[in-house]
Amino acid sequence: MIFPPPLREGGLRGRVDYIPKESYEAVIGLEIHVELNTESKMFCACPVSFGEKPNTQVCPVCLGHPGVLPVLNGKAVEYATLIGLSLNCEVTEFCQFHRKNYFYPDMPKDYQISQYDLPLCVEGYLEVGEEKGVSRIRITRVHMEEDTGKLIHIGGSGRIHGADYSLVDFNRAGVPLIEIVSEPDIRSPEEARMFMQKLRSIILTLGVSDCNMEEGSMRCDANVSIRPVGQKEFGTKTEVKNINSFRSVQRALQHELDRHIDTIDSGDRVVQETRHWDDAGGVTTSLRSKEEAHDYRYFPEPDLVPLISDKPKVERMKKALPELPDARRVRLMEQYGLPKHDANVISLSKATGDFFEEVMETYEDARKVSNWILVELGALLNQANLEIDECAVTPRHLIDLLKLMDKGTISGKMAKDIFKESFDTGKLSSVIVEDKGLVQLTDEDAIGKIVEQVLAENPKAIEDYKGGQERVVGFLVGQVMRLTQGKASPDAVNRLLKSKLNNK
């Protein structure tokens, strides 16, 4: 038979070769742009700065006036090389800039100086997923280019469609930009998020960008397709743009994968196109199809000489790379005896790793510190949607709290409440304790009296205990804690209760 049988109502679901959702595999490749934090732009002396008055950080070069010549920023090449080396790439012997031609109002020259078939770095990899089994994601290339200006659409939804007019700010035009392209080796939205996080952590460790997705100094275009598990050939991909946070990397990809599966399930074909992620709506919408794709007419940039790699220098740079997250993870386990999971999470974020190690400079118990960072602080950060270096709690706050607990001034239960207040107000625990007179009640005579009172009020509980119901101890401890407003030392309460119960 040449033609497939007509689809029944409900599309492929009615067919014998219907593939259940779980049998599809995600294929994802990321293209990530990172703005370098060099002092000056890629090809001129204008400062790289964020949040300045529009069109004040510009000159004839980055405005693309006729007759100007670009001069390559050596620091930008060095930073790009560092990124390539830390991603296990090979630095190419000969690399060249190309002009990528297209017209758009945010680009004054009508071409972007970028790299094409001769990029700075090629063939690297990044490993993710230490928890569940390491996946090696190959890096196709790391290349250099210049950023564009910024369009601000006024009126309507803030997007170009429906806007009354648009403004352009060229301060960002010509800022050094690095593009990192992965092979389609990523197999889940979660893995994509981990890849982005690891990459961010590496680049922050190098100190060459602040990698802020919300402010746009790190941007991600995600290419997605699906295929039945076991199939070698790739399916048709779509490219999702406008992903502006780590959370949306995972959300946008999950949505897009589901859309691919639904499309195929209903008997349609996925169309190769670029799609826009709408974070508020949680959906992607079509931007342009393959037919509308640009032909960039790349040609070698005649105003810039090719770069010949300085091999000894590259070797020296490779040797001098700082300790990267993977190495830090291993060291955290060796030096502090941290469990694997803790070391993973702590090393995955540069700021968390720095926080942990700063506390460890003046505090001994690594497990306790990592527990407080991952569990208590982690929960508060999650709730507030903040990063560890954006919140009011500093290493000093945690040290202060842990020491108060060690001295027995406060109980573990009190510590949690105090920590929350520290987080909200930025006050040190010792200050909160002092202000509120929150001192743990350790005086055994005083606690003993309250224990007696609770026992006197709960004869039934005593009977139950004698009858073998150990559970009532928990209830009685709760009563004592209530009467002491949580200040009694839980150890002392437990001990006193048990001894008094056993003597009844």
Task: Write out the residues near Zn ion by the rule CB under 5 A.
Answer: 44, 46, 59, 61-62
CB of 101 to ligand ADP, least distance (A): 16
Q: Which amino acid is at 194?
A: M
Please tell me what DSSP assigns to residue 154: E
Nearer residue to Zn ion within complex by CB, 48 or 477? 48
**Which residue number, 102 or 234, has a Cβ lying nearer to ligand ADP?**
234
**β-pair type (283-289, 273-278):** antiparallel
User: Taking CB under 6 A as the criterion, which residues in 91-120 touch ligand ADP?
Assistant: none
Q: Which is nearer to ligand ADP, 31 or 78 (CB)?
A: 31
Q: Is residue 27 a contact point for ligand ADP (CB under 6 A)?
A: yes
Give the C-alpha separation, 432 to 445, whole Å: 26
Q: Tell me 424's DSSP state.
A: H
Q: Which is nearer to Zn ion, 44 or 144 (CB)?
A: 44
CA–CA separation, 408 vs 122, rounded Å? Answer: 57
CB atoms within 10 A of CB 138: 16
Q: How many residues make contact with ligand ADP (CB under 6 A)?
A: 14
Subset of residues 332 to 391 that bind ligand ADP, contact rule: CB under 6 A = none
Least CB distance to ligand ADP at residue 140 (A):
6
Residue among 30 and 83 whose Cβ is closer to ligand ADP: 30
Least distance in angstroms from the C-beta of 273 to ligand ADP: 11
Q: How far is the CB of 289 from ligand ADP (least distance, A)?
A: 12
Q: What is the footprint of ligand ADP within residues 235-254 (CB under 6 A)? A: 237
What residue ranges in 296-447 does DSSP mark as E strands? 299-300, 307-308
Nearest residue to 89 via CA among 178, 177, 26: 178
Pairing of strands 150-154, 165-169: antiparallel
Of 40, 86, 182, 429, the one binding ligand ADP by CB under 6 A? 182
Closest to Zn ion by CB, 111 vs 372, is 111
How many Å apart are CA 289 and CA 171, to the nearest integer? 31
* The pairing of beta strand 238-243 with beta strand 273-278: parallel
Residues 6+ apart with CB under 8 A from 2: none
Give the tokens for residue 403.
Answer: 């020491």
Contact set for ligand ADP, span 427-466 (CB under 6 A): none
Q: How near is the Cβ of 226 to ligand ADP at its closest, in Å?
A: 8
Which of 244, 302, 310 is CA-nearest to residue 277? 244
Q: How far is residue 305's CA from residue 239's CA, in Å, rounded to a whole number?
A: 33
**Binding test (CB under 6 A) with ligand ADP, winner from 44, 61, 181, 338:** 181
Q: Which is nearer to ligand ADP, 30 or 399 (CB)?
A: 30
Which of residues 237 and 255 has its CB atom nearest to ligand ADP in the complex?
237
Phi, psi of 174 (to 5 degrees): 90, 0
Nearest 5°: the CA angle 117, 119, 122 is 105
**Min dist. Cβ of residue 20 to ligand ADP (A):** 21
The residue ranges that bind ligand ADP (CB under 6 A) are: 27-31, 181-184, 223-225, 234, 237
